Structure 1
């Protein structure tokens, strides 16, 4: 084996982990118990290949309906936010219109006064000055008057532009709201169509439809139970890696012409997780260009790759997967990581140095590291 893990080396912070896990993780997650999905597996084990293919199709329909329902929820949230923005814009528009009208009225009065007095009266007023001081004072007063008029005109123009911009924003928001309404109606129609398709498909199975309805209900229930459980598992595993006292030999380092090269074996990942006995079994397997992550007791298998974040974090990106042997759609994979990503913070191992690239080899990860002095 390329790397060795020092057994039993656990940071003091993990003293509280058993209590924490008992509080947050469902009872079915604690290792050593019967798998939480055993009843479903027993049922699935007794069906034919043809029946399994039918269940696959039905489960895909279930996932598609779930995706549309999530989209509907997101659209509803977006519409609520847009509606709030529209109300705020309408209030701003009303205030901007009030300011514009006020400035226009002031300018109207100034121009009316200027027109009434006439340019001749201002000239006579200046020429009637009985001293140089008075002359200069009146010249400055006239300048100030014309300057204020110019500023008032500029302010009026600016207010007019703001008003036009607000109206444009409002029109765009109203148009966006209309688009969202159309999306909602489209999603609703698609959902009804999928539900109808599912129902028609079940009816076509004739005497077996109740058999499949029961299986499908069990599948849906198991899938709904898995999602929050998986989220808590990923959150806790990420926390353990980030806060844990990782073995100093968890990564094997060698010097290269471009910097440093680090390797971490799949056994390293598996052993670190296995040390925390209250977590359910989680296994990583590395093959060239692909990472497989599985939760055997939950009958979940995910394949994907690690993405580098912030120069020291590895984030697992699932590309495919199966639950109870049935394929998961892309949207279902997203849902699993909706609340918590599975991340491995390697800063305790690489310090201030930065990860440049990552390659998946047979049984280990190969990391190119840029030294930072």
Structure 2
């Protein structure tokens, strides 16, 4: 049966036991104590530099109250507008990347065309030179080459002269062939670049059409809001406030992720936040949401945050901002835990896929345990009601 014990109790009991079981527990406790003692320091974040805006920018209370007072129809319209606007932002970013690629490919095609023109000039120069040589030979007649041979002073000189004539002819042919081959190769490279250029232009056109459709959809949704004449100003104001609140929340999210990382990396968590269990099958670390939330509530550098652990996963809540992120922890690369966000809502509005991707790109949570696990690996993570449990395979050598 597993015994939940503190590090001091583990050391005391390990001294009192004998035989193989005592030796096994002593080795396990030694390795595990070192591992879990450093656990708070291995929480990492992949977040961009802090925004220049003031931390935790407040959201106007009237905005929150206005959103709460929206009826079902109004909330659906706002949700669709919010999702459409997020998708438009995402496609515009993709369009900018594609247009940069098109510009770069255009420059490469121009460079290839310049090289082709230079190669053609070189080919024409060789051809013209060869033509002049042939004209000179025609004017001199066959006697010219014969004279070169007959003027030989010896058999050795004769062979040398014949070899020179053959070498001149061979090199002239080779030069013509190489120049022609170089131009053909450049033309093939240009053709390949042109295909890429055409593909990017086609993708640009496809994105432009999608953007056009989304803009039309946004216009139609805005028209539906405007059709509610008596409440038009109210809806537009709330939509604007929702956008402003969302813009204000994004740096809050990034700064919160960074602060969480700094808190755990410094080990600044109350004793007992991590509970340990030991058994012959391995070592298990257990973190309850109550203790974790207690640790968060004592921080002045964090907004009001709450984590709820359930069998289905993890719910991360920004209380004042009314933002919720639903996801789960999973083991990646045997020594890391990553928080995977599956869905979310902001002030009662469901986050679209584009909005979630935008938010997660500003800061993701990852438990990187490789620095402390050594050769040990994470075998399993279990989501429980009120806690998460980690099973570790201890490898001392």
Which band: TM-score by shorter chain? 0.7 to 0.9
Alignment-derived partner of residue 190 in structure 1: 214
SS state at 1:315 partner: strand
Work out whether residues 353 and 371 of structure 1, in 8 Å CA contact, stay in contact via their aligned partners in 2. yes
Matched, 1:295 2:315: no
Using CA pairs under 8 Å that are at least 6 residues apart, name the structure with larger relative contact order, 1 or 2. Answer: 2
Alignment-derived partner of residue 66 in structure 1: 86
CA–CA separation in structure 2 for the residues paired with 1:112 and 1:354:
79
* Residue 285 (structure 1) shift: 2.7
Matched, 1:334 2:362: no
Structure 1 residues 144-153 or 219-228, which shifts more? 144-153
Structure 1 residues 89-98 or 143-152, which shifts more? 143-152
Alignment-derived partner of residue 14 in structure 1: none
Q: CA RMSD in A?
A: 4.3
Matched, 1:113 2:113: no
Cα offsets for 1:319-350 (capped at 9, x unmatched): 11111222111111111123332333223432
* Residue 312 (structure 1) shift: 3.9
Work out whether residues 305 and 317 of structure 2, in 8 Å CA contact, stay in contact via their aligned partners in 1. yes
CA–CA separation in structure 2 for the residues paired with 1:328 and 1:190:
17
Selected match of 1:280 from 303, 314, 322: 303
Matched, 1:229 2:252: yes
SS state at 1:292 partner: strand
Work out whether residues 86 and 173 of structure 1, in 8 Å CA contact, stay in contact via their aligned partners in 2. yes
* Residue 240 (structure 1) shift: 4.6
CA–CA separation in structure 2 for the residues paired with 1:92 and 1:121:
43
Matched, 1:366 2:387: no
CA–CA separation in structure 2 for the residues paired with 1:343 and 1:278:
20
TM-score, length basis structure 2: 0.70
Task: Kindly report which structure 2 residues correspond to 1:218-257, keeping only aligned pairs within 5 A, or say none.
Answer: 218-241=241-264, 243-245=265-267, 250=274, 252=276
* Residue 352 (structure 1) shift: 5.5
Alignment-derived partner of residue 121 in structure 2: 101
Alignment-derived partner of residue 160 in structure 1: 184
Cα offsets for 1:218-243 (capped at 9, x unmatched): 322212211222122223434554x4
* Residue 194 (structure 1) shift: 1.9
Alignment-derived partner of residue 319 in structure 1: 342
TM-score, length basis structure 1: 0.74
CA–CA separation in structure 2 for the residues paired with 1:25 and 1:4:
44
* Residue 353 (structure 1) shift: 4.8
Work out whether residues 252 and 264 of structure 1, in 8 Å CA contact, stay in contact via their aligned partners in 2. yes
Cα 1:37–1:322 shift into 2, 3 Å: farther
Structure 1 residues without counterparts, runs of 5 or longer: 12-19, 30-34
Structure 1 residues 142-151 or 334-343, which shifts more? 142-151
Cα offsets for 1:8-65 (capped at 9, x unmatched): x998xxxxxxxx99x9673546xxxxx74644333445x37xx145324323322312
Tell which structure's C-alpha radius of gyration is larger: 2
Work out whether residues 238 and 344 of structure 1, in 8 Å CA contact, stay in contact via their aligned partners in 2. no
* Residue 264 (structure 1) shift: 4.7
SS state at 2:171 partner: helix
Alignment-derived partner of residue 96 in structure 2: 76
Structure 1 residues 190-199 or 358-367, which shifts more? 358-367
Cα offsets for 1:266-305 (capped at 9, x unmatched): 4476566556431123333332342222222221111123
Work out whether residues 378 and 390 of structure 2, in 8 Å CA contact, stay in contact via their aligned partners in 1. no
Q: Paired residues, what number?
A: 351
Cα offsets for 1:181-210 (capped at 9, x unmatched): 45224413421332222322441x453444
Alignment-derived partner of residue 287 in structure 2: 265
SS state at 1:305 partner: strand
Cα 1:216–1:142 shift into 2, 3 Å: same
